């Protein structure tokens, strides 16, 4: 049996990653004691918002597209790889 998965779900994860990053940088900006650090965290927070918008626009445009898994476990392995490297914890 061939498994199917939704690229929409990957894009939803990407949007959440950017939102979490934005929250992290906002908190760091608020706690920063120097203007240099405040500016750095503010810049990174703004970049996360730009990335979130890009992923959200992609999600809005993708429609009902689906991908078929070529081998069992492929989708789960992909999501684990993404989450281990890119999700803020």
Cα separation values, 76 from 3, 4, 83, Å: 11, 11, 11
By DSSP bridging, strand 67-68 and strand 4-5 are antiparallel
pLDDT confidence band for 10 (50 / 70 / 90) = confident
pTM of the entire structure? 0.72
What stretches of the chain adopt beta strand conformation (E)? 4-5, 67-68
Please write the tens of the pLDDT for every residue from 23-62. 999 999 999 999 999 999 999 999 999 999 999 999 999 8
Domain ranges in the chain are: 4-86
């Amino acid at each position: 049996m061939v498994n199917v998965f939704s690229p929409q779900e990957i894009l939803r994860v990407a949007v959440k990653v950017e939102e979490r990053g934005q929250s992290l940088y906002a908190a760091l900006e608020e706690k920063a004691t120097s203007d240099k650090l405040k500016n750095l965290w503010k810049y990174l927070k703004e970049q996360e918002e730009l990335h979130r918008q890009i992923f959200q626009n992609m999600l809005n445009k993708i429609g009902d597209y689906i991908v078929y898994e070529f081998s069992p476990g492929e989708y789960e392995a992909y999501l684990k790889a993404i989450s281990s490297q890119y999700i803020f914890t």
